């Protein structure tokens, strides 16, 4: 009996603190445009979702920090943004290019995965990482790892990012918004209350302007003020689910795990060519590089594939695709390249338009579970 008690106490002492990263790419779409055209870095850049009505109809997707100084932010109408930047004669308004942003995001996420025990993709510009094992629950090590990750993204993808580090996803997300751009905020478990208490209530994810106003009407503006309400009062105001969430969030409580997304339907890479072309030799060089990129992702995730496809985006923005199913699953790079180049020749045989973007994909996966398909040895 005493041995069981001692064993349980020993296990309790061995529980290490959870360490979670939330990483957020700074003003992502606008930053992608700056990467593509470095001369934009010193100018106000506004990336817009233009509507089909033409003209300035539509909304701002994001803006860089030069534009934000003039009050331009995501979601406002484009015409309002142009009025606020009327005196800034070098302001640039650009349409969204989601394919290009996805290319940049894919490259960045491939870097991030290498730093995680568990990786959770949230969207093109954000992700969660559980790094408890590799840091041993030590927040000094976690801070160092987060800085290494930021440096790796800047050197390999040329992307600026902000990272929040804490004991759960909720506080890590709030921390990532605390010091932007290019920030790093570490909130260890014993510092959660002192970090959250002075923040505005709107910093809690999910609390919008209407909910914030309800609390303002009660004379509450900070998270510390919010903690004066017990869970029963909050449940009465917002219902049990939302009320309980707000009660826990104000105290930095969040037990939700960092969870990987479901198995991928396909792995794909697409690139905008330096010049439009339908020349086999020119296209094949980019296609082989894309195959190598996709292959790295597949091997990293211990998968083998059976379907290979390529895609053209033509100069009129229409698409053409062609794919082939192999006899057996494989993760062999030479077979991937050989099949992709064969598909390239077949598509080019009757190609009339110039190719603007070129892509490759693999699909129909099974996991190797540590037993590599024999073709991976050759």
The active-site residue, picked from 120, 126, 212, 367, is 126
Q: Which residues are CB-contacts of 189 (< 8 A; sequence separation ≥ 6)?
A: 17, 166, 167
* Residue range 156-184, pLDDT digits in tens: 899 999 999 999 999 999 999 999 899 99
Determine the Cα–Cα distance for residues 214 and 237; give it in Å rounded to an integer: 10
What pLDDT does residue 206 have?
85
For the whole model, what pTM was predicted? Answer: 0.67
Q: Which helix (H) or strand (E) holds 311?
A: strand 303-314
Confidence of residue 328 (pLDDT cuts 50, 70, 90): confident
- As separate numbers, helices (DSSP H) first and strands (DSSP E) second, the chain gives 15, 13
* 49 token code pair: 């979702």
Determine the Cα–Cα distance for residues 375 and 373; give it in Å rounded to an integer: 6
* Residue range 216-238, pLDDT digits in tens: 999 999 999 999 999 999 999 99
Q: Calculate helix-pair angle for 240-250, 231-238, nearest 10 degrees.
A: 140
The single-letter DSSP state of residue 117 is: S
> What's the half-sphere exposure (Cβ side, CA atoms, 13 Å) at 100?
16
Average pLDDT value for residue range 50-69: 84
Confidence of residue 52 (pLDDT cuts 50, 70, 90): low
Domains, in order of start, for the chain: 15-27+100-192 (3.30.70.270), 33-96 (3.40.1170.60), 197-250 (1.10.150.20), 266-377 (3.30.1490.100)
126 is catalytic: yes
């Amino acid at each position: 009996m005493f041995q069981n008690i001692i064993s349980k106490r020993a296990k309790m002492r061995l529980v290490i603190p959870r360490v979670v990263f939330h990483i957020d790419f700074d003003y992502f779409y606008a930053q992608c445009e700056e990467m593509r055209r470095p001369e934009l870095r010193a100018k106000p850049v506004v990336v817009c979702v233009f509507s089909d009505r033409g003209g300035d109809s539509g909304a701002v997707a994001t803006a860089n920090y030069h534009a934000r100084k003039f009050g331009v932010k995501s979601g406002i109408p484009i015409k309002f943004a142009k009025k606020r930047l009327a005196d800034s004669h070098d302001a640039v308004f650009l349409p969204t290019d989601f394919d290009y942003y996805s290319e940049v995001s894919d490259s960045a996420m491939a870097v991030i995965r290498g730093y995680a025990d568990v990786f959770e993709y949230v969207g093109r510009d954000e992700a969660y990482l559980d790094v408890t094992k590799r840091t041993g629950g030590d927040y000094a090590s976690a801070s160092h790892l987060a800085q290494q990750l930021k440096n790796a993204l800047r050197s390999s993808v040329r992307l600026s990012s902000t990272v929040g580090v804490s004991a759960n996803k909720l506080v890590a997300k709030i921390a990532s918004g605390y010091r932007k751009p290019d920030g790093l905020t570490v909130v260890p478990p014993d510092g959660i209350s002192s970090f959250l208490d002075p923040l505005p209530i709107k910093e809690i994810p999910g609390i919008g302007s209407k909910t914030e106003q309800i609390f303002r009407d009660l004379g509450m503006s900070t998270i510390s003020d919010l903690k004066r309400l017990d869970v029963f009062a909050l449940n009465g105001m917002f219902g049990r689910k939302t009320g309980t969430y707000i009660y826990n969030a104000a105290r930095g409580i969040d037990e939700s795990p960092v969870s990987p997304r479901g198995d991928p339907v396909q792995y794909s890479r697409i690139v905008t060519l330096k010049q439009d072309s339908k020349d086999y030799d020119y296209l094949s060089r980019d296609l082989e590089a894309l195959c190598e990129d996709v292959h790295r992702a597949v091997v990293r995730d211990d998968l083998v594939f059976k379907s290979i496809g390529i895609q053209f985006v033509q100069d009129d923005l229409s698409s053409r695709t062609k794919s082939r199913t192999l006899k057996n699953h494989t993760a062999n790079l030479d077979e991937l390249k050989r099949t992709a180049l064969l598909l390239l020749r077949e598509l080019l045989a009757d190609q009339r338009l110039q190719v603007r973007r070129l892509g490759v994909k693999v699909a129909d996966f099974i996991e190797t579970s540590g037993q590599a398909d024999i073709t991976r040895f050759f």
